[in-house]
A and B are shown apart, each in its own frame.
Chain A
Amino acid sequence: MIPKDLLYTEEHEWLRLQENKVIIGITDFAQKELGDVVFVDLPEVNLVLEANDVLGGVESVKAVSDIYAPCPGRIAAVNEALTDTPDLINEDPYGEGWIVELEIEEAPKNLLSAAEYEEFLNKGE
């Protein structure tokens, strides 16, 4: 499942670009690879990040996966619901399972379209 209206990174994150904001989550492929998500390490609101900074982590029973900032920005909001129900990431990775909202000045570069991400996944198999 790779929604057409989102952009993607090779770290299996999805991005929903809005004017000066970007909402970030992990892809369906990523949540399946991880298995049952049992903990999400969320950043503090207002944290300022450089591109490729680790902004948080998603942990399943067996694995830890870092989440990276796709571009410089400031954390505008975090999905507090993940604190008590981290498995929202498994149930609805592109919706209720969103992780953070990043306020940005410039749109991030080098992102993959849905078709490119799909191709990237197929290459990896």
Chain B
Amino acid sequence: MTEFAGWYMPTKYQGIVDEHLAVRRAAGLFDVSHMGQIKIAGPVAFNFIQRVTTNNISKLQVGKAQYSLLCNVQGGIIDDIIIYQLGLEEYMFVVNAANKDKVLQWLQDQKNKEEKADLLNIQDVSKEFCLLAIQGPRAEEIIAQLTKLELAKIKFFHFATGELAGVHVILSRTGYTGEDGFEIFVDTANAVLVWRKILEFGKGAGLVPAGLGARDTLRFEAGLPLYGQELREDTTPFEAGLTKFVDMTKANFIGRPVLEMTREQGIKRKLVGFRMVDRGIPRPGYQLQSKGEILGKVTSGTFCPYLKYNAGMGYVRADYAYTENEIDVLIRGKELKATIIKKPFYNR
């Protein structure tokens, strides 16, 4: 068990590597109830969200979800979130646990700047929900045994509400592993029941419970950034390779003026993925260099349990951020060779 943002969470159940492989080959069940949920509703919710996020929610409709970013006025990332449109004037943000209080405060501050603030309701509903994630190629067939919802109709980044194991849930085709799968919002009182039912019905298909450790190695192989490592308040979406989640055609949103300037001037550093050529595992904070010249730092790195090689992600000087480029990673005082490669490392 490990303490994370005020939650006690299992790093692993049987072992990170086994859990990781089970998710790639069959399915894994994660308890990600630490994630925060914030509901934003009211007649001005649409305009408010357009102003505080970088993506464009006019692409949303009820039953659809969207990956988006909250940026500060400098264009730095406050959090990366998923926005669910629950109703005509009702949305839910799923935010990182470690950022929840910060985001909530920031949203309140932004609300206070609204002319019609009284028409906007922002509510932390994190305690009402537990969030379970079933991920892997066999996730759908396992869930199909427990619900009458037509799963084929729930496309990637869409969701439906209905009964699962006899309990009312929001079932969303989203995840953080690079696999197909679902995230299940269930009220706290019924979460244990749903967890047990899924484990029971999934056993035959090879489903295992999976912890935070496997969640991290899975998202890493899938090239997905993690807040606090790849994403921080001093990194912009462009540096992080998240340009497609920033809609510059949108009239105005917080951070836009600076982002526009950055885009014109060009970015100074860029997030890359690299594969180790020499033997060694890159870890966060290790220096990246070329011919002794400092290029940047590792943000994440691990042995990839499915791909079976050591890899990392990190920011390097933009003029050096090209695939096939050789870089050195300073590991235990040794310069070890690596090659910049395309992300994601793993594609299903």
- Say whether, besides A41-B332, A61-B217, A64-B283, A36 and B17 are in contact (CB < 8 Å): yes
- Say whether, besides A38-B17, A62-B16, A57 and B279 are in contact (CB < 8 Å): no
- Residues 278-300 of B, flagged 1 when their CB comes within 8 A of A and 0 if not, give 01110100000000000000000
Q: How far is the CA of A86 from the CA of B98 in the complex (A)?
A: 34
Shortest distance between the CB of A28 and any CB in chain B (Å): 15
Contact assessment for A61 and B310 in the assembled complex, using a CB-CB cutoff below 8 Å:
no
Q: Is B305 an interface residue (CB 8 A)?
A: yes
Shortest distance between the CB of A11 and any CB in chain B (Å): 17
Which residues 174-227 in B have Cβ within 8 Å of A in the complex?
213, 216-217
- Say whether, besides A41-B332, A61-B213, A61-B303, A36 and B280 are in contact (CB < 8 Å): no
Q: Is A59 an interface residue (CB 8 A)?
A: yes
How many residues of chain B get a CB closer than 8 Å to chain A's CBs?
18
Residues of A within 8 A of B280 (CB): 39, 41
Residues of B within 8 A of A54 (CB): 332
Contact assessment for B279 and A61 in the assembled complex, using a CB-CB cutoff below 8 Å:
no
Residues of A within 8 A of B16 (CB): 35-36, 60-62
Main secondary structure of the interface of A (DSSP, over half): strand
- Say whether, besides A61-B302, A62-B213, A35 and B12 are in contact (CB < 8 Å): yes
Contact assessment for A62 and B11 in the assembled complex, using a CB-CB cutoff below 8 Å:
yes
Q: How far is the CA of A61 from the CA of B16 in the complex (A)?
A: 7
Q: How far is the CA of A83 from the CA of B279 in the complex (A)?
A: 9
Shortest distance between the CB of B281 and any CB in chain A (Å): 5
Residue of B whose beta carbon sits closest to that of A54: B332
Q: How far is the CA of A83 from the CA of B12 in the complex (A)?
A: 25
Q: Is B43 an interface residue (CB 8 A)?
A: no
Q: How far is the CA of A41 from the CA of B302 in the complex (A)?
A: 14
Residues of B within 8 A of A39 (CB): 279-281, 303, 310
Q: How far is the CA of A62 from the CA of B302 in the complex (A)?
A: 7
Residues of B within 8 A of A59 (CB): 281, 303
Contact assessment for B17 and A61 in the assembled complex, using a CB-CB cutoff below 8 Å:
yes
Residue of B whose beta carbon sits closest to that of A57: B332
Q: How far is the CA of A39 from the CA of B304 in the complex (A)?
A: 11
Shortest distance between the CB of A69 and any CB in chain B (Å): 15
Shortest distance between the CB of A82 and any CB in chain B (Å): 11
Contact assessment for A35 and B15 in the assembled complex, using a CB-CB cutoff below 8 Å:
yes
Shortest distance between the CB of B176 and any CB in chain A (Å): 17
Q: How far is the CA of A64 from the CA of B281 in the complex (A)?
A: 9
Residues of B within 8 A of A35 (CB): 11-12, 15-16, 213
Residues of B within 8 A of A62 (CB): 11, 16, 213, 216, 302
Q: How far is the CA of A59 from the CA of B282 in the complex (A)?
A: 11
Contact assessment for A38 and B213 in the assembled complex, using a CB-CB cutoff below 8 Å:
no
* Contact among B11, B12, B281 for A38, CB-based, below 8 A: B281
Contact assessment for B332 and A61 in the assembled complex, using a CB-CB cutoff below 8 Å:
no
Q: How far is the CA of A62 from the CA of B303 in the complex (A)?
A: 9
Residues of A within 8 A of B283 (CB): 64
| B residues adjacent to A (C-beta < 8 A) | 11-12, 15-18, 213, 216-217, 279-281, 283, 302-303, 305, 310, 332
Instruction: Return 18 A-B CB contacts under 8 Å, by A number.
Output: A35-B12, A35-B15, A35-B213, A36-B17, A38-B17, A38-B281, A38-B305, A39-B280, A39-B303, A41-B279, A61-B16, A61-B217, A61-B305, A62-B11, A62-B16, A62-B216, A62-B302, A64-B281
| A residues adjacent to B (C-beta < 8 A) | 35-36, 38-39, 41, 54, 57, 59-62, 64, 83
